[in-house]
Structure 1
Amino acid sequence: MKLFLKDHLDIILLYFFNAVFLSYGYHRLDGFQTADGICYFLFLSLFLFLMLMVLRYIRKRKLYQTLNRVPDFLEDMVETKTTDDESNAFFRYNRKCYEIYQRQMNTWQEENSRWQSHLMQWIHQMKTPVSVIRLMVQNDTKQIDTFGVLYELDRLQNQMDLMLGLARSGQVKNDLVIEEISLGELLQEVIRKNKRLFIQYQVLPQVTCGDQTLIHSDRKWLAFVIEQLLHNAVKYSSAGSGITIRTKKEGEHVSLAIQDEGVGIRPRDLPRVFDLYYTGSNGRENDQSSGIGLYLVKTVLDNLGHKIEIESETGKGTVVSIAF
């Protein structure tokens, strides 16, 4: 009731001001000959006014009752129906807001579930290199396999880079520093950094790139992209095969292609390779796949304004092309 009175305070004040003003004015013009006439006029107008206010309160009662109480559940705010069009419009608006909220919550819960699933998988992958390093140290404290330890540390570093990249994927634009880069030098730098990966899998990288192939991009993020593409190419290649890395320049346009001779990607998986957490048929057969690498590659390249395309044939290999 208090909320109703506050909501109609201006109407109430206007009524009393209007009633007094009209009564006084009408009386001054000799409209009322006696005090009974004034009282009758005021009583009649007050009665009609109170009837109007009572009817308005009855029509809007559920609305004011809803606003005056704290609901236990959100559903309590959207299920109310009244005979008042304005109140019903308010409840319909609440219902729409609740539906939007429900959709957003469902999306968040799905993303949170996928994140937890990936986190568990990531922890599992981290345990493998840690266990390998521990065994190397425990089995032979005098002659430790330095290469093996460094390779496992590289795996740890790559997985941590993936997690860090995923955590920062929404703020890539804020971290970009666009500059002129020698693509050939950057490729050699990334290959040197991952040399133990090529040795471990016995895969030979072959680079065809002019030293003067210059592009404008972010050095750190582009190196991250190339590194993830090389990791994918190596993981799905057989021992003794090769990876071809070549650049092509046509006028002011430069493109980079990374081609492997691996298992290839099945046609049904190609449209979804950039989806977050999607591992595809190969990922289910290869325990090392996380479904994050290509998602981050696409996200970073989109922020850099570079285009990426993937062509693949099952059993023959995959070609990933980047247009700068």
Structure 2
Amino acid sequence: MKLKVYIRNHILWILGSFLILLVINSILFTSISINQSYKDIIYMDLLAIFIIMVNIFYGFITERKKYDIFFKNSIKSIENIDVKNDYFSEMVKNVLIEQQKRFWMIEKNYRKGINEIQDYTTQWVHDIKVNIAVCELLLDDVESTTSKELRYQVEQIKFRINHILHVTRANHYEQDIGAWEVNVCNVLRSAIKENALFFINKNIEIETDLHPFSVISDERWIYYIFGQILNNSSKYTPEGGTLQIKTKEDEQAYYVIIRDNGIGIPKEDIARIFDKGFTGKNGKIETKSTGMGLYYAKKMAEKLRVEIKLDSEEGNYTEFSIIFYKLSDYYEVATK
């Protein structure tokens, strides 16, 4: 609380004090019956002004302490504040407690609504997967160019549905994150298999040089990160291109390097490639791009204390490096 605020809030009392002093002076100066001494009256005025000023500053300091008690404490500890039978403090305390309860109710309703949407989305995803499975069974009985294209589209639908499911979980990661030993190369092979049809459809050759290693992390989210990067590579690598996937190790970390010889990323877009909804120049070429896949991959990598680095040259290549540091503390990950 500032002094000028205090004065503004008590302006009537301050003006009243000076008005009383003015009236007393008027009486003393105009009264014939009083043998007044101007020096004595001025001395009395100065003394009265001093007392008023002391009263103002004392009131200001006292009231500021009351405000500090409330606003320097956590909102959760307001109910435990001792107001010492002070009417003003009791009033402020009651107002803050009521406002706190209203905020908690709004937050509770908001969380409930979000959880209902999450539950509905999850159930919808699982239901639609049944329909997709039926479509795949029907396609198994058909062999034609059209059926191959349909199968490709079905795989795209499956990928996008899984993306929706992971996005829903990503916004509740504190409830959906685990820690156990993960064989990273096995997870990587599964992610390659999931995206295999996309590479086959464009006749993209995959070259691998994988050396097994394990980390303590969340397998589902590592799988998601790999899947998004591989899918991104399949979009922007031309027909007959090459995708190189390898692992390496040094004293500090394990590295998974995914490099394609696709269209690359313009220099001006590299710094924003992980931004939410950013599609850039290449996104305008690839009309199916939403700019959300890499955003969520980066978001979850940060929560897992996994680093993603990007290097690219327009027209030549794009290289993603997924770095698993050996000294990462997963307990810290799980509690933040």
Quickly name the TM-score band, shorter chain normalised. 0.5 to 0.7
Q: Distance in 2 between matches of 1:154 and 1:164?
A: 15
Partner residue in 2 for 1:174: 175
Cα distance 1:253–1:142, how it changes in 2: closer, same or farther (>3 A)?
Answer: closer
What is the aligned partner in structure 2 of residue 189 from structure 1?
A: 190
* Cα 1:143/1:323, change in 2 over 3 Å: closer
One-letter code aligned to 1:230: L
DSSP 3-state at the match of 1:155: helix
Between stretches 185-194 and 197-206, larger displacement belongs to: 185-194
Specify whether residues 239 and 307 from structure 1 end up closer, same or farther in structure 2 by C-alpha distance, changes over 3 A only.
Answer: same
Paired position in structure 1 for 2:255:
255
Cα distance, 1:166 vs structure 2:
2.6
Per-residue CA shift, 1:101-147, capped at 9, x if unaligned?
A: xxxxxxxxxxxxxxxxxxxxxxxxxxxxx9xx8xx98xxx9655554
Q: Which residue of 1 aligns with 2:233?
A: 233
Q: Deviation of residue 219 (structure 1)?
A: 0.8
Q: Secondary structure at the match of 1:207?
A: strand
Deviation at 1:174, TM superposition (A): 2.2
> Superposition pairs for residues 134-149 of structure 1, below 5 Å?
143=143, 146-149=147-150
1:205 maps to 206
Per-residue CA distance 1:195-214 (angstroms, 9 max, x = gap)? 21110111111111113x12
SS at match of 2:157: helix
Matched residues in 1 for 2:142 and 2:276: separation? Answer: 44
Aligned-partner SS, 1:310: strand
Where does residue 17 of structure 1 map in the other structure?
none
SS of the aligned residue for 1:272 comes to coil
Q: CA RMSD in A?
A: 2.9
Amino acid of the structure 2 residue aligned with 1:149? L
Judge conservation of contact 2:301–2:307 (CA < 8 Å) in 1: yes
> How far is the alpha carbon of 1:187 from its aligned partner?
1.6
Normalised TM-score (structure 1): 0.54
Q: What letter is aligned with 1:205? A: I
- 8 A contact 1:201–1:238 mirrored in 2: yes
CA offsets 1:136-194 (integer angstroms, 9 cap, x no match)? 98xxx965555433322110011112222333322123211121112221121221222
Structure 2, unmatched stretches of 5+, are 1-131, 325-336
Once residues 256 and 143 of structure 1 are traced to their aligned partners in structure 2, the CA distance between those partners, rounded to angstroms, is 37
* Matched position secondary structure for 2:240: coil
CA contact (8 A) 2:177 2:218 kept: yes
Aligned residues with identical type, % of pairs = 27
Instruction: Assess if the C-alpha contact under 8 Å between 1:215 and 1:254 holds in 2.
Output: no
Instruction: Count the aligned residue pairs.
Output: 193
CA deviation map 1:239-273 (0-9, x unaligned): 11111111111136211111010111111111111
For 2:147 and 2:178, the matched residues in 1 are separated by 36
Aligned to 1:153: 154
Tell me, yes or no, if the aligned pair for 2:169 and 2:176 is still in contact at 8 Å: no
Instruction: Give structure 1 stretches of 5+ with no counterpart.
Output: 1-129
- Report the TM-score, using the length of structure 2 for normalisation: 0.53
Alignment correspondent of 1:219: 219
Q: For the residues of structure 2 that align with 1:143 and 1:321, how far apart are their CA atoms?
A: 39
Which residue is 1:305 aligned to?
305
What is the rounded CA distance, in whole Å, between the counterparts of 1:252 and 1:316 in structure 2? Answer: 29
SS at match of 2:208: strand
